[in-house]
Structure formats: structure tokens, C-alpha cells
Amino acid sequence: MSKAEQQWRGDISRRQALAGLGTFLAASPLLHAQRDPWPLGSHRRFMSFDEIRDVFDFEPLFRANVPLAIYDYTAHGTESEFTLYRNRDAFDWVQLIGGGGVDPNTVDTSTELFGRPMPSPIMLAPTSRQRDLHPDGELAMHRAATTTSTTMIVSNASSFPFTRIAEAAEGPLWYQLYARSDIEANRQPLAEGQEVGAQTIMVTIDQQASYYERDLHVRHTGGSVRRVARRTPNNPPNPYRVGAGRLWYEWELFDKLRPMIEVPMLAKGILTGEGAKLCLDHGVEGIVVSNHGGRAIDYGPSTLEVLEEVVTAVDGRVPVLIDSGFRRGADVLKALALGADAVCLGRASRWGLGAFGEPGAQKVIEIVNAELKQAMASVGVSSLAEIDRSIVKTNFP
């Protein structure tokens, strides 16, 4: 056999060459939009509604049902997303301990907030633009909350007016406010919310200026990219070139809003004991330990690891709620053991709504409540009154 023939026999075939070319083209950034950016992960297939057993099973279905830009809006955290992931890591730093021996069917999760009885300390956190997830949006979420006797906190950045959401079902509603710097501009939404039955007003103060790096990488999907507006009286110059919509927050805000609010007023976005004390000084009647699900501050603490500091500062004078990163009933139990009075679900309920609509949102709530009862039975407590610091061991870094 000649040298040329030997080289020919050792070369790749036309079929192999075409396959290699196809692989190269498929991996090209120019064709990136044709690739599936969110594979199924550990699941080999999508799970049916009846097969789902925990909240995490809803996420791949939610992701498949909505455009990537909508998924990223729910999923992203601010800047590097360090805080987003730290919120979940923190649950690994708290161990549940206890003796067990309690029948889950006998566990009582009932509680009371602001004089109103609640069958569970689990609530729905305020999240905006829910119609992007399902055509019924907040209407379906309120119906799911009502079916499970769960209190829903409605964002004032909702897809539907608060009055229409209230009409969709009969369950209890709270109202969340992004206050405006023109104090009088807050009067009408606060009046409307209270007129149709908002049991409390939750004022968010934690999202001063957020920047979502993830959005810069989804331009090919139609995702929104943050753009800096021209400098106008409403967008004055500042070192970070960030719009001034929320950079004006000061503690006196609560003093100015108080005359407009006839129901309990809560502050959402507290991460320090000092901040909690200042809230009390300005007439706030409830604290929500929150970092906006990792969307408010980069390289900040998880809410779970600062919870005890806030609870100690408050010293029982007002209720302390918490959100950011909660996915399991065991997560809820850890927060209750560290002093929280209630826990709010945000992304978890959105996953359910986006995956299956109202039945999905309802099932998320039911799953987490069932897990909470199982976790309480496992550590040997049969009511919320029996939960204390002795059932957890912390190892925060």
C-alpha cells in the first residue's frame, strides 16, 4: 500500500467531517438562540401535575412555559447574584434537631397576626407582573390563596388593580407599596387598598437601586436590558448613573405615610437590628426581614442569618416576618425556630402559577404546609407555641 493510500485510510470520512462541522456550527455564538439555554437538569422528562412532590419540581415546567426573558425576570438577582445564592446556602447552615415522636396529623400550625387568626404562618410575598406568568395572574394567585386559607400580599406593581384582585376571591389580602417621593401621590393607592379591605400596608424600602447583569446576556431572547435615561429633573446625576426613583428613601417616610394609613404599617427590607429599632422609632408596627429575594443588594447577608439579630432588637414589640429563598417546609421551620412569626413565599408561588396556573399555585402552598407539619413532627413539636431555639443548631460563617 502506497503512502498516499495509507494516509487516505487514516483520514476522517466525509460523514465524520460533516458531523464535526455540524457540531462546530451548533456551538457557534451566532446560533446561540437555537440552543436550549435551560435543559431539564436532573429530570429526564417533565413531571405531570400528580407526580410533583416538592416545590423544585415546578421550576422546569415554569421555565418551559414562559419566554426566557420572563423566566429570567423571576430568576435573576442583583449584579453578581451572590446574595441570591446565599439565601439558599444559608439553610444548609442551620440544622434541625429534636426527638420526634409526634404524629404529623396532630400538628397544629395555627397562629395569629395583628389580631387575626391564620391556619398557618406561611404567606404569599408580594411579587409583580404575575400576568406574564399566566393570563389570570394575581387573580388566580388570590383564588389559590383563598382556597388554602393563605394570606396574600399584593404588590402595587401588579398586573391588575388591587380592587379587581380583591374581587377575585374572599381571602385575606395585604397591600405592598413602593412609596413615591411626592408623598401626596401615595394617598390615592393607599386609600383604594384600604377601602377594599387591605388588612395591613407593607412599605418596601430595600430595593434602592438594583442592576441585573443577567439581563445583559439575554438580549437575543428579547429580554429587557437596563438603559440609562437622559438626565432630567426626575433622574438627577449621581456617581452610579442610576435612576433616582428609589434613592430618596429616608426614615421620615414612615412619619409622612402614617396619617394616610389606618391599618398596621410594616417595613419590608430590614437586615439589621439597628434598622429594626429605627422602624419602631418611626411608628412601624411590623418588620419584614428581606433582601428582595437577592434582588436588593449584592454581597449582602442572607435573611436567615440576620433574623435573630432583628428579632432580638424588636424584643417582641411587633411581629417579625421573613422572606427570600424559602422553598421547603423545613426552611420555614428553621425561620420560626430563629424567631420569625411568619414566612413569605415569593418565587415558589410564581413557579406554581407559571407551571399550572391556579392549581399549581395552590399545590405549592399545600406542599410547603404539609412539609412544615412533617418537619415539626420530626423534631417533636406539635404546635407553633412549642417551637424555640432548642430545635436548631446554627453554623453561620
Say how far apart CA 335 and CA 316 lie, in whole Å.
Answer: 15
292 catalytic per annotation: yes
CB 294 within 8 A of CB 78: yes
Q: Please give the distance of CA 366 from its chain centroid, rounded to a whole number.
A: 17
Q: Return phi, psi of residue 318, to 5°.
A: -140, 160
Say how far apart CA 42 and CA 126 lie, in whole Å.
Answer: 30
What are the residues facing 268 on neighbouring strands?
204, 288
What DSSP designation does 101 have?
A: -
- Gyration radius (Cα) of the chain, Å: 24
**DSSP secondary structure letters along 154-169:** EETT-SS-HHHHHHH-
Helix-strand-coil split of the chain, %, nearest 5: 45, 10, 40
Say how far apart CA 1 and CA 5 lie, in whole Å.
Answer: 6
- Grid cell locating 276: 429594626
Catalytic residue among 76, 134, 142, 292: 292
Pairing of strands 116-118, 392-394: unpaired
**Which residues participate in catalysis according to the annotation?**
292
